[in-house]
Amino acid sequence: MASPEFVEQQLGGWAYDPPVNVRSMRPDEIDAAISVWREANIARGAPHGPERTARIRAKLSAPDALPFVALRPDIVGMALAEPGRLGDDAGEPDPALLHISMVFVRPAVQRTGVGLPMVLHILAVARSTSYQRVDIWTARENSPARRLYERAGMTLTGRTAPLRSSLALQYESFLSDGEASRT
């Protein structure tokens, strides 16, 4: 996993008070992570019912899931990365791609330095587990998320996908060949 020193170096001198600790989520933290997800969705006007909540619980518990939490000292953020897939995420697993499927921060601490350490931590984990690239999709009008991914060094791919009332944009980060070559 990414060391605190690595993430601090990647933050480029940004210091947050209080600091954020990002680590892999433990099984007993699923309810707290779902609480973060739920609060953030309610705050953005997109509450979800029990069926969607059950799907998120299943995704966080999947054997190939890489769930993370951000602590300050309590859980204030959650993220999930999963093995990517070929063919617009519908095909066979793509061993070179790690897909970030969600990044959520409690509304009370949004824009206080929680999201960037989480995304940087996922990029570091991807490097250490030999992925060659990482991607994420976000809504075109989600400017805070877009700024977050750009600050983490991710760039737009030019690929889009329709949403109910908007357009999703794909961001991607290519990891250096020396650190992420698959064998």
Q: Which domain holds residue 91?
A: 4-180
Model confidence pLDDT, tens digit, residues 76-122: 999 999 999 987 667 899 999 999 999 999 999 999 999 999 999 99
Q: How confident is the model at residue 128 (pLDDT cuts 50, 70, 90)?
A: very high
- Using CA atoms, how far apart are residues 60 and 75, in angstroms rounded to an integer? 15
- Using CA atoms, how far apart are residues 43 and 47, in angstroms rounded to an integer? 8
Model confidence pLDDT, tens digit, residues 9-63: 555 555 566 789 999 999 999 999 999 999 999 999 988 999 999 999 999 999 9
- Using CA atoms, how far apart are residues 17 and 22, in angstroms rounded to an integer? 14
Q: How confident is the model at residue 178 (pLDDT cuts 50, 70, 90)?
A: very low
Domain count, the chain: 1
Global pTM value: 0.87
More confident residue, 177 or 32: 32
Q: What is the 3-state secondary structure (H, E, C) of 77-103?
A: EEEEEEEEEHHHHCCCEEEEEEEEEEE
Determine the average pLDDT of the residues in 139-163.
96
Q: What is the CATH number of the domain that holds 118?
A: 3.40.630.30
